[in-house]
């Protein structure tokens, strides 16, 4: 914590400072600004970027499955389709 405070005094654009700001800030506009700066950090590893991409893809796929299941549930409840037996 002391290192972060020293870095904040010396370098206002320090990434650790923005990470701390992201945790402590309650103003949504300042949080959004801190998120953008932290995400743009050139020292984030390539593996972290790949992991983030993979997690985003998994989330998109899960949301697509949820939307399809909800559409099917609505169609079945309205009598437009026959229910499918569980596999």
Q: Is the pTM of this model over 0.75?
A: no
Is residue 18 included in any domain, yes or no?
yes
The per-residue pLDDT for range 27-83, each reduced to its tens digit, is: 788 778 777 777 777 666 776 778 889 999 999 999 999 999 999 998 888 887 666
Q: Are residues 6 and 24 in the same domain?
A: yes
The per-residue pLDDT for range 7-22, each reduced to its tens digit, is: 555 566 666 777 777 7
**Six-digit token string for 16:** 């650790």
Position 70 scores a pLDDT of 93
Q: Are residues 59 and 38 in the same domain?
A: no
Q: Are residues 40 and 65 in the same domain?
A: no
**Six-digit token string for 33:** 């600004």
> Got the DSSP string for 12-41?
TT-HHHHHHHHHH---HHHHHHHHHHHHT-
Position 6 scores a pLDDT of 60
Total structural domains in the chain?
2
Q: Are residues 1 and 40 in the same domain?
A: yes
Q: Are residues 35 and 62 in the same domain?
A: no
């Amino acid at each position: 914590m002391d290192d972060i405070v020293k870095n904040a005094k010396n370098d206002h654009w320090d990434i650790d400072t923005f990470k701390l700001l992201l945790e402590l800030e309650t103003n949504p506009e300042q949080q959004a600004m801190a998120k953008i700066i932290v995400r743009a950090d050139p020292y984030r590893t390539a593996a972290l970027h790949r992991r983030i991409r993979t997690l985003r893809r998994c989330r998109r796929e899960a949301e697509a499955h949820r939307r399809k299941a909800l559409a099917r549930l609505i169609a079945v409840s309205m009598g437009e389709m026959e229910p499918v037996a569980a596999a």
